[in-house]
Structure 1
Amino acid sequence: MKKVLWPILPKPWGTADMEFHYGLWNGVSSLFSQSGRQLGEENARPFILNHHIPAQMIVCKYKDSREGRKINMSALRIAMQNFDAALDITGAVHAHHLAQLPPAHVPGIWDLHIIARSSIALIAYQKRCTRHKPFQSTVSDALTSQYQFISGVFMICRHMLEHNHPAIEQNSPISAEALYNYADRHDIFISFNGAACAGSIKKIHEFLDFCNAGNALSAPAAHTLSRLVDDPDNWYQYGLATVELDCFVENERSQRLAARRGIGQSDPDRSAQTYAALGGYVRGLMDRPVPAASGSFRHGALIRQNHILEQLGRPVVKSIPRSHIRARLGCGQDGR
């Protein structure tokens, strides 16, 4: 394989307001694994940091929406070698999250979304937290593989949030089969360039089943997490804070888009309501929650980003650039 040269840290990781400006997934996706491949492969974002690393591509034969499309065998081989390790990490994140919930609580899709986002936060925390040692510029193949598997769950939940699916509106439990069928029906297995997720139908079902079942087959959660992050409780609070920040942003964006479509205050956009409800659920899990409402959107975003920076041991910022606010809201607003 051609030798790949990469920076110690891509630009997003040196940006003080990375969690607000880029979000977790975009920044993480541009990092490199120990095998020299980018975590997001051809989907690595921001696009300017995508190195377009060559991969062996074959035509997909799975009998679903992916049939006839190209799949990346180079990444799949590495991922399958680390499948059991990815289950172990997923189980540990699942167990840590469920340990924060009341014993009688029945986990729903909000919990699945938090588990997926907290998993992605493992990598962000490793690279961003000043207390995490030793620092490594690459991501282990085991954690890379878990990121690639769990990203599918995140993308399903994100699509459901954006389209206000009844399951996510009501925080209902959801089966692996329902998750798979939803992803297949809405082309979530297909990337922007027409390539497809390379995992077999059987392995996708197995992973989705495990995401719902938790750590029944995994090593003890505390041991697994302590090998990945310096302080599992602080990592978890960091993950929650990033989810709450995204809910805050998406609630605002949904309201502004609804206003542009002419939906009145008496008939607010339902997606905004779901983001607000999910944000409230997350704040209930936070040790030091940020206010539900904090004046202007720009002020609320700043409070949340600084809350995150304090958890990472990084200096707080005085403001978030208006250009970053406009880019994140994505609807031409000035961020006031």
Structure 2
Amino acid sequence: MEFHYGLWHGVSALYSESGRQLGEENTRPFALNHHVPAEKITCKYEGSRSGCLINVSALRTAMQNFEAALAITKAVQARHVGDQGRADPLGIWDLYILSRASIALIAYQMRFRPQAQVPNRVSDDLTSQFQFISGVFMICRHMMENADCLIAQNQPVPAKVLYDYADDNGIFISFNGMACAGSVKKIHEFLEFCIDCSPQDKSPTIALDDLVCELDNWYQYALASIELDCFIEQERAARLDQKETQTSDASTAQIYCSIGAYVRSLMPSSALTDEGLSSFKSGALLRQNRILGLLGRDMIRNLPASHIAARLG
């Protein structure tokens, strides 16, 4: 799954306790998008969302569980920065890791457990956090894919800058014209909450042990999956025509390479033995098998050429 779809696509088709797909109208792959009916109204907020339809059904679930979403986010953040002993604001690379590690909470639960123990639905608490944190992921991914200067280095960026970037680049609008349903205030609040990793007396708390089994294994799974995705996207970008105008001196491939190296620096040293691999296929296979090992699943012998072509296409 991690090679073929990536974490976001891999879980977006799952269903919440409320009976809605996590990815809503953005569910990937499209073959699994069941277009669950939703209550919709016209967006009233200024900017790129103005006049677009928003999904009130998804918004209702998200807002009912907003405090739980904050608590889960803070717990994932604490696990990420805990080993580093940091209290300064998170840079954009760390926000990207935070978003992907949050999504990995769901992916790991579905992949690690024996099939007979896999829950049929994702809790509404996790669903709400997924909806909010996916916005952070999409902002970071857009910057990476467009080699934006903001993500060329792992520097903190104010919440307003991130919000304005999303608004200016249409990130709040999905492929079918639906708009992100959160208010400007709530989106700002969530972004600021993600960036600030200093201890906060009033921060909502939750024990990740209540959400995911094998806590350290989940975090290593998250890092390995993020590093695999960086490896894939670096290869994809390197194969594209680099003559397109970039917003900075960095290329998309260079940014993915830099973030991949940063993620590897957070992984156990035993995970760094693949630097000398000579081909994309062998590197991708080793990485996917590393992930399968963390999941307690059997190794695979090959990545079909058709899968590689589809992933890099």
Shorter-chain TM-score range:
over 0.9
Match of 2:257 among 268, 276, 285: 276
Aligned to 2:299: 316
Distance 1:108 1:292, change over 3 A: farther
Distance change (3 Å), C-alpha of 1:67 and 1:262: closer
Shift of the 50–163 alpha-carbon distance from structure 1 to 2, 3 Å rule, reads same
Q: CA RMSD in A?
A: 2.0
Query: 4+ runs of 1 displaced by more than 6 Å?
Result: none
Mapped to 2, the partners of 1:175 and 1:106 lie a distance apart of 9
How far 1:241 sits from its partner (Å)?
0.5
Match of 1:8 in 2: none
Structure 1 residues 202-241: aligned runs within 5 Å: 202-214=185-197, 216=200, 217-220=202-205, 224-241=207-224
Q: Which residue of 2 aligns with 1:93?
A: 76
Q: Structure 1 residue 134: deviation in Å? A: 4.8
What does residue 177 of structure 2 align with? 194
TM-score, normalised to structure 1, is 0.87
SS at match of 2:271: coil
Counterpart code for 1:313: G
Q: 1:82 to 1:159 in 2, by over 3 A?
A: same
**Structure 2 equivalent of residue 130 of structure 1:** 113
1:19 counterpart SS class: coil
CA deviation profile, 1:193-222 (whole Å, cap 9, x unmatched): 0010000111100111101123634355xx
Distance in 2 between the 1:88 and 1:280 partners? 29
Q: Which ranges of structure 2 fall in alignment gaps of 5 or more residues?
A: none
1:119 matched to 2:102? The reply is yes
Change in CA separation of 1:271 and 1:191 when aligned onto 2, cut-off 3 Å: same
**Match in the other structure for 1:13:** none
Distance verdict in 2 for CA 1:149–1:250, change over 3 Å: same
Deviation at 1:258, TM superposition (A): 3.5
Pairs aligned (count): 306
Secondary structure of the structure 1 residue equivalent to 2:285? helix
Q: Could you tell me which amino acid in structure 1 is paired with residue 78 of structure 2? A: A
The answer to whether residue 239 in structure 2 is matched with residue 256 in structure 1 is yes
**1:60, 1:71 within 8 Å by CA — same for their partners in 2?**
yes
- Identical counterparts, % of pairs: 58
Kept in 1, the 8 Å contact 2:173–2:179? The answer is yes
- Deviation by residue 1:21-66 (Cα, 9 ceiling, x = unmatched): 0111111100000110000011111111111110011011111210
Hey, what does 1:154 align to over in structure 2? 137
Distance 1:255 1:143, change over 3 A: same
Contact 2:49 2:172 in 1 (8 A): yes
Cα 1:132–1:241 shift into 2, 3 Å: farther
TM-score by length of 2: 0.93
